[in-house]
Amino acid sequence: MQLLIELPEELKVLLAIGVTVIVTEFLKFLGAKFGIDLSGYSAQVTAAVVAAVLVFVNGLLAQIPAQFAPIAQQLLGLLVVVLGSFGAYKVFLSDKAKG
């Protein structure tokens, strides 16, 4: 039985945020380059690209052999913890600088 390794929700959200920023900036660039307003299409294009990226990443994770699935899941959990701790550290420093 092939175990399905799924991307944690936190990484899905982070990936969606990153893709949203990239697509939005790219559409702004194209709009400025060609002199047209593409801002109305950003939500639709972003949704399609985010879905495509998530399908691609899940396809890559499905290629991991079943015996390595627990290790891969633990590494993804570790990545979530490390990225979360960077975020918490950044919030702590910004609060300390204000006060």
pLDDT at 97: 60
pLDDT bin (cut points 50, 70, 90) of residue 1 is very low
Q: What value does the mean pLDDT take over residues 9-20?
A: 91
Q: Is the pLDDT confidence value at 74 over 90? A: yes
Q: What value does the mean pLDDT take over residues 86-95?
A: 79
pLDDT bin (cut points 50, 70, 90) of residue 99 is low
**Given the structure tokens 């399905």, which residue do they identify?**
4
pLDDT bin (cut points 50, 70, 90) of residue 39 is confident
* E strands, the chain, in order: none
The answer to whether 8 and 76 are in contact (CB under 8 A) is yes
